[in-house]
């Protein structure tokens, strides 16, 4: 586990260095909501629908959209004040909080453990996670799939040091996977679904029975304090998009296709594995996230104990109930 400790301290140090090196752009303009999104999920659907702009117009608030390749980069943007709101998976916020990032949890999506997996090529002789010992594995550093790999290896009786991890963003990882430079690829939807449909990648192990794979919505702490009305209105619009995704997946796939460059069949496959029904954090979800944070601390993967509850935002009417 020593190599894993060194790796995750490096990740933590990298986040601190990145956030301190970038110029701080304080969210001084309370009449602008700057959203960070990735090329998939509820936020990109909200952007496409244009309903948030209409909802916030009476409040005198305009919306700007900023695309990020993955959660760790998005959180860097949130911490340095270049965006006010965004969504990431379970693991990045824990490392960000440990690095004193100014973030607050707004809400979450239900578990979607089937939405991420360890893949191997169709012709690979590898049949189990245990057979990954000594193999090269590609993944995006610091994303949820990083945690999935750690847990899957533990379940198979392996240590993180038993494999050779190659840190690559999704596009580069896909290329390395196809040309045989790596033996396996740990990835999330819709990249996961695209690999299944276009190159017949085989699922070695998905997140079921290993991880929850929650998606969390987060805001820059001072923005959430200054504009709780904007945060609440934004979250309400996200709930409406989730209802649409649950009831009309074909429509959603058709809307996503031109935004992602993927065909509707691939998107429908990915959407079927998603978790929909955005909610504010409750005691159960806070406890689940706290368990991950405590695990990392006990393994000395982060330098201090964290209290997830201390960085959870709730609308005023829910704050009393959350303390019970």
Count of positions (residues) in the chain:
324
pTM confidence score: 0.82
Residue 10: per-residue pLDDT: 46
Nearest to 139 by CA among 184, 98, 74, 97: 184
What whole-number distance in Å separates Cα of residue 55 and Cα of residue 44?
16
What whole-number distance in Å separates Cα of residue 224 and Cα of residue 65?
17
- Residue 9 CB contacts under 8 Å (≥ 6 apart), including other chains: 301, 303
- Distance between start and end Cα atoms, the chain: 38
What whole-number distance in Å separates Cα of residue 92 and Cα of residue 78?
12
Residue 259: per-residue pLDDT: 84
What whole-number distance in Å separates Cα of residue 203 and Cα of residue 254?
25
Residue 212: CB atoms within 10 A of its CB come to 19
Residue 318: per-residue pLDDT: 52
Q: CB of 116 within 8 A of CB of 186? A: yes
Structure tokens at 270: 């990915």
Give me the tens of pLDDT residue by residue for the chain, a chain 324 residues long: 444 444 444 444 444 444 433 434 444 567 999 999 988 888 988 998 899 999 999 999 999 999 988 888 888 898 888 999 999 988 889 988 998 999 999 999 999 999 999 999 999 999 999 999 999 999 987 788 988 998 999 999 999 889 999 999 899 999 999 999 999 999 999 999 999 999 999 999 999 999 999 999 999 999 999 999 999 999 999 999 999 888 888 998 998 898 888 999 999 999 999 889 999 999 999 999 998 888 778 767 789 999 999 999 987 545 544 444
Structure tokens at 160: 């993180």
Residue 218: per-residue pLDDT: 96
Q: What is the dihedral of CA 153, 110, 85, 36, to 10 degrees?
A: 60
Residue 213's region, left for phi above 0, alpha for psi from -120 to 50, else beta, is: left
Residue 18: per-residue pLDDT: 42
Q: CB of 20 within 8 A of CB of 175? A: no
Structure tokens at 305: 């104990």
What are the structural domains, with CATH classification, of the chain?
Answer: 2-111+214-260+275-322 (3.40.190.10), 113-206 (3.40.190.10)
Backbone angles phi, psi at 207, to 5 degrees: -80, -5
Cα–chain-centroid distance for residue 150? 16
Kindly provide the residue ranges of all beta strands, DSSP E only, lying in the chain, ordered along the sequence.
32-37, 62-67, 85-89, 103-108, 116-120, 136-139, 164-167, 184-188, 202-206, 215-220, 279-280
Q: CB of 40 within 8 A of CB of 255? A: no
């Amino acid at each position: 586990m020593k190599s894993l400790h060194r790796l995750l301290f490096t990740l933590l140090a990298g986040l601190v260095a990145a956030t301190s090196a970038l110029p701080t752009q304080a969210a001084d303009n309370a009449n602008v909501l700057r959203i960070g999104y990735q090329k998939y999920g509820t936020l990109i659907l909200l952007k496409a629908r244009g309903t948030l702009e209409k909802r916030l117009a009476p409040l005198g608030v305009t919306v700007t959209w900023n695309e990020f390749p993955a959660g760790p980069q998005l959180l860097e943007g949130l911490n340095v004040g270049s965006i006010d709101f965004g969504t990431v998976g379970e693991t990045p916020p824990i490392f960000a909080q440990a690095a004193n990032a100014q973030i607050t949890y707004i809400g979450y999506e239900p578990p979607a453990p089937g939405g991420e997996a360890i893949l191997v090529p169709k012709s690979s002789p590898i049949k189990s996670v245990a057979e990954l010992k000594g193999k090269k594995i590609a993944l995006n550093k610091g994303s949820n799939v990083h945690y999935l790999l750690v847990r899957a290896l533990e379940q198979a009786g392996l240590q993180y040091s038993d494999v050779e991890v190659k840190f690559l963003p999704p596009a580069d990882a896909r290329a390395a996977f196809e040309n045989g430079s790596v033996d396996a690829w740990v990835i999330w939807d819709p990249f996961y679904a695209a690999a299944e449909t276009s190159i017949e990648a085989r699922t070695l192990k998905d997140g079921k029975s290993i991880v929850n794979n929650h998606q969390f919505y987060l805001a820059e702490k001072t923005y959430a304090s200054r504009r709780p009305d904007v945060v609440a209105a934004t979250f309400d619009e996200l709930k409406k998009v989730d209802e649409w995704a649950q009831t009309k997946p074909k429509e959603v796939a058709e809307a996503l296709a031109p935004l992602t460059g993927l065909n509707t069949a691939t998107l429908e496959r990915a959407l079927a594995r998603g978790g929909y029904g955005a909610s504010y954090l409750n005691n159960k979800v806070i406890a689940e996230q706290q368990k991950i944070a405590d695990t990392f601390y006990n393994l000395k993967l982060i330098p201090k104990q964290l209290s997830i509850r201390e960085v959870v935002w709730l609308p005023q009417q829910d704050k009393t109930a959350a303390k019970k």
